[in-house]
Structure 1
Amino acid sequence: METNFNPTQKKNTNLTDIIVGFSRLFVGILFIFSGFIKANDPTGFGYKLQEYFHVFHLDFLNDYAAWIAVLICGFEIILGAFLLLGIYRKNVAWGLLLLIIFFTFLTFYSAFFEVVTSCGCFGDAIPLTPWQSFIKDLILLAFILIIFKHRLRIKPLIKKGAGRSTIATLVVLISFGIGIYTMYFLPFIDFLPYKEGNNIPELMVLPEGKQGDEYEYVYEIKHKGTGETKKVTDKEYMAGIWEDDNWEVVGEPSSRLIKKGYQIPIPDLLISDVDGNDVTQEIITNPYYNFVVVSTYVDKLSTTDIIALDRINTIVRDLSTDYNLRAVLLTASSAQVANSLNEEMDLVLETFYADAVPLKSMVRSNPGVLLLQNGVVVKKWSKITFPSKEELAEEYLAK
């Protein structure tokens, strides 16, 4: 019996294997990278999820956003790792397909309806616009469809047995463990402008030689005699129209961005006292050690959070008797809520107020603590890692 050898068929088979292999490598690495970046800061990714919850009227999930973020990040890492290892290929192929369809829908919805300005796909490390995220997901979808169609061609790197189960278990534990750890102990890498070593006042102004966003303003003007109306740009208006008494401006000018410029890292930090006075510079440029305790919403503190805040307050009170330092509490809660907490806990911390957005960027913990000196972030702690009086004195204050 003769067997006909078809070199074209073999060539096509090899080409398919190459395409599947590349798709497997590309998707696996990208999913692991994306998962790790977000797992580095699940609290921040949770804030992004809350934006989506609001859009789809799922606000009841807000309190669980960080944990949902941990789960999503963990699944991304697991799917990417299992794909590279070639294990559980059918389940992995289905998981990748369902996840990318879900992400593609979200990014398209965000881009088309302009409801979420950044998808948070790669956290704060690599900000993407909604349309960039959507295009990225379309590319991923194409590669995942290849993987799904040819999933049986994926060859496992580890044979079935105890070894595979052990490695799979380790992958799962590590994937979820990273997010859980960073949620309690702060990110491994801080990509935010309030990271240790940064000078906050310098990041609040436009550096010399840098150009900010450039806008064009459009005026609607009306001729007093004829009643004619027309729209002119600010350049056209200032070129001589403003000198002509026959024309008058109607309403307020509109503006549009014509050139994107340098983005100030900290554009929105405004700290005020209970009377509304701006005390931002007073707080952030203090030449002495300044403990800044951040609690975005003090009325949302759990029992565990209250215990942590009480410990921080006690340590700061003990330190203030021996060292020249200042300690403040920054919150976005109302003065009434803050005063109630102050009376209940006898806080030694001076209470000031700021918007929730910069407070959430300062430290991914509620409460969390920053140690400032001359505007520089010396150290940051979560509610769990804030050290003892003796450790703080030895490491910082006694020097």
Structure 2
Amino acid sequence: MQSTNTTAKQQHSTTTEILLWISRIFVGLLFIFSGLIKANDPMGFGYKLQEYFHVFNLNFLNDYSTWIAVVICAFEIILGALLLLGFSGKKVAWGLLLLIIFFTFLTFYSAFFEVVTSCGCFGDAIPLTPWQSFIKDLILLVFILYIFIHRNKIRPVTKKSKGLITTFIVLISFGIGIYTSMYLPFIDFLPYKEGNNIPELMKVPEGAEETVYEQTYHLKHKQTGEEKDVTDKVYMDDKIWEDDNWEIIGEPKSKLIKQGYVVPIADLHINDAEGNEVTQEIIENPYYNFIVTSTDLNGLSQLDYLRLDEINATIRNLAEDYTIRAILLTASAPKDASYLNEQMDLVLETFYADAVPIKSMVRSNPGVMLLQNGIVIKKWSKNSFPDKEYLEKTYFQNIN
């Protein structure tokens, strides 16, 4: 009997170890993947955090959103890596549990109250709806709870150089986010990435599937007072519209039935100071076209102003020798752009657009995008824009 009990305990222990390893691998890899995807574009994740800050009246954190994003991404990568290695098992289990509870609350709140349309869990690489994100977090919560319950059984895969490996993981985790926040994402998942044709991405292809909506009308019978809801199909097929006794009460409710083709770039409208739209004129320019982007000119630091002044000077020198067009595209007020022009004597023509597409163009404020015939040739952050000699050698040497 004692032998049987011992065997049963050993089998139970073995099963626990297997399930614990499965949970560690699943959670660890998912946290590393999620952290890396967002660390690839911390500024984009920071924009998503600003939406949450607005919901919870924490707008004072907006100026720090990118750096908060860097920290969150680093923690995800660190926790995932340490979980796989089995280092600091108890502390990692606590960190994972607290983090997943926090994420689950946010995704539920976003989904239930419909305050944030996309959680940003996997950045722009894998867009998820709030409900999809909430379900994902619930699944993760189950695995993390199992890890937490059995946290005492977590053993390190190696005891050699534990401190050195941990330090390396921490440095890499923070280093990736810091690098991409200062320069640009390693992989661009946005529609303005290099090689894309912007005018083509603003069109609906011929034969593309259309989005289907269902309209529901609330009707009231004038004679009997009867009320009912009918869809637009029933309303037309049964010819209810021909019966004067039925009247529509209120506005019809619209429901998405089938999502059709979504235009990748649907919100780009470039206007001059007088409000005239010049979008096609700008993006279809056959010459090299430098677009310097800045969502908020007032939000630029002193260092940002210096970078912008250097960009302006480099483009000015190029314009003396080559036929190019250069514009400043901003979401700021015209008075702010005029003040900047007075201070820097800008060679850039100033145009205006909504902040949302500008943020998608270049993940830098300011940033630079080089276009020709609507095709994105190259993008630079404020810290990586090259000098005149490099631009001449790379892009202008074959121009007569």
Find the counterpart in structure 2 of residue 379 from structure 1: 378
Residues 249 and 96 of structure 1, relative CA distance in 2, 3 Å threshold: closer
Find the counterpart in structure 2 of residue 40 from structure 1: 40
Q: 1:34: Cα distance to partner?
A: 0.5
Q: Given residue 213 of structure 1, which amino acid in structure 2 is its aligned partner?
A: T
Measure the CA separation in 1 of the matches of 2:227 and 2:275. Answer: 42
Note the 1:260-275 alignment, pairs <5 A.
Answer: 260-275=259-274
Residues 4 and 303 of structure 1, relative CA distance in 2, 3 Å threshold: same
What is the CA deviation profile of residues 198-247 of structure 1, one whole-angstrom value per residue up to 9, with x for unaligned ones?
Answer: 11111111122211321233456788999988765444555656677887
Q: Given residue 327 of structure 1, which amino acid in structure 2 is its aligned partner?
A: A
* Structure 2 portions without partners, runs of 5+: none
Q: 1:79: Cα distance to partner?
A: 0.5
Which secondary structure state, in structure 2, belongs to the residue aligned with residue 120 of structure 1? coil
Measure the CA separation in 2 of the matches of 1:252 and 1:86. Answer: 58
Residues 224 and 175 of structure 1, relative CA distance in 2, 3 Å threshold: same
Which secondary structure state, in structure 2, belongs to the residue aligned with residue 17 of structure 1? helix
Residues 277 and 126 of structure 1, relative CA distance in 2, 3 Å threshold: same
What is the CA deviation profile of residues 14-49 of structure 1, one whole-angstrom value per residue up to 9, with x for unaligned ones?
Answer: 000000011111111111000000000000000000
Find the counterpart in structure 2 of residue 184 from structure 1: 182
Which secondary structure state, in structure 2, belongs to the residue aligned with residue 257 of structure 1? strand
Residues 181 and 273 of structure 1, relative CA distance in 2, 3 Å threshold: same
Which secondary structure state, in structure 2, belongs to the residue aligned with residue 28 of structure 1? helix
Contact 1:220 1:249 survives alignment (8 Å): yes
Measure the CA separation in 1 of the matches of 2:18 and 2:48. Answer: 37
Measure the CA separation in 2 of the matches of 1:35 and 1:340. Answer: 40
What is the CA deviation profile of residues 106-131 of structure 1, one whole-angstrom value per residue up to 9, with x for unaligned ones?
Answer: 11111111111111110000111111
Find the counterpart in structure 2 of residue 121 from structure 1: 121
Find the counterpart in structure 1 of residue 207 from structure 2: 209
Measure the CA separation in 2 of the matches of 1:107 and 1:386. Answer: 38
Measure the CA separation in 1 of the matches of 2:248 and 2:144. Answer: 56
Which secondary structure state, in structure 2, belongs to the residue aligned with residue 57 of structure 1? coil
Residues 235 and 142 of structure 1, relative CA distance in 2, 3 Å threshold: closer
Residues 224 and 107 of structure 1, relative CA distance in 2, 3 Å threshold: closer
Quick one: percent identity of the two aligned structures?
A: 68
Find the counterpart in structure 2 of residue 58 from structure 1: 58
Contact 1:292 1:329 survives alignment (8 Å): yes
Of stretches 37-46 and 267-276 in structure 1, the one that deviates more from structure 2 is 267-276
Q: Given residue 190 of structure 1, which amino acid in structure 2 is its aligned partner?
A: D
Residues 232 and 150 of structure 1, relative CA distance in 2, 3 Å threshold: closer
Of stretches 355-364 and 244-253 in structure 1, the one that deviates more from structure 2 is 244-253
Find the counterpart in structure 2 of residue 132 from structure 1: 132
Measure the CA separation in 2 of the matches of 1:384 and 1:351. Answer: 22
Measure the CA separation in 2 of the matches of 1:278 and 1:253. Answer: 33
Q: Given residue 204 of structure 1, which amino acid in structure 2 is its aligned partner?
A: M
Contact 1:90 1:151 survives alignment (8 Å): yes
Task: Report the TM-score, using the length of structure 1 for normalisation.
Answer: 0.93
Measure the CA separation in 2 of the matches of 1:320 and 1:221. Answer: 65
Find the counterpart in structure 1 of residue 280 from structure 2: 281
Q: Given residue 170 of structure 2, which amino acid in structure 1 is its aligned partner?
A: V
Of stretches 203-212 and 140-149 in structure 1, the one that deviates more from structure 2 is 203-212
Which secondary structure state, in structure 1, belongs to the residue aligned with residue 186 of structure 2? coil
Note the 1:157-236 alignment, pairs <5 A.
Answer: 157-159=157-159, 163-218=161-216, 233-235=231-233
Find the counterpart in structure 1 of residue 300 from structure 2: 301
Measure the CA separation in 2 of the matches of 1:224 and 1:320. Answer: 72
Find the counterpart in structure 2 of residue 84 from structure 1: 84
Which secondary structure state, in structure 2, belongs to the residue aligned with residue 263 of structure 1? coil
Of stretches 207-216 and 377-386 in structure 1, the one that deviates more from structure 2 is 207-216
Measure the CA separation in 2 of the matches of 1:85 and 1:230. Answer: 62
Q: 1:293: Cα distance to partner?
A: 0.5
Measure the CA separation in 2 of the matches of 1:226 and 1:153. Answer: 72
Residues 16 and 290 of structure 1, relative CA distance in 2, 3 Å threshold: same
Find the counterpart in structure 2 of residue 101 from structure 1: 101
Which secondary structure state, in structure 2, belongs to the residue aligned with residue 307 of structure 1? helix
Q: 1:262: Cα distance to partner?
A: 1.8
- In the alignment of these two chains, the number of paired residues is 396
Contact 1:206 1:212 survives alignment (8 Å): no
Q: 1:321: Cα distance to partner?
A: 1.0
What is the CA deviation profile of residues 65-91 of structure 1, one whole-angstrom value per residue up to 9, with x for unaligned ones?
Answer: 000000000000000111111111111
Deviation above 3 Å: which 4+ runs of structure 1?
A: 2-5, 217-254
Measure the CA separation in 1 of the matches of 2:134 and 2:218. Answer: 37
Contact 1:290 1:327 survives alignment (8 Å): yes
Which secondary structure state, in structure 2, belongs to the residue aligned with residue 188 of structure 1? coil
Task: Report the TM-score, using the length of structure 2 for normalisation.
Answer: 0.93
RMSD: 2.2
Of stretches 254-263 and 106-115 in structure 1, the one that deviates more from structure 2 is 254-263
Q: 1:187: Cα distance to partner?
A: 0.2
Measure the CA separation in 2 of the matches of 1:214 and 1:299. Answer: 42
Measure the CA separation in 1 of the matches of 2:251 and 2:22. Answer: 56
Residues 279 and 182 of structure 1, relative CA distance in 2, 3 Å threshold: same
Q: Given residue 347 of structure 2, which amino acid in structure 1 is its aligned partner?
A: V
Q: 1:255: Cα distance to partner?
A: 2.7
* Structure 1 portions without partners, runs of 5+: none
Find the counterpart in structure 1 of residue 21 from structure 2: 21
Measure the CA separation in 2 of the matches of 1:58 and 1:10. Answer: 52
Measure the CA separation in 2 of the matches of 1:19 and 1:231. Answer: 51
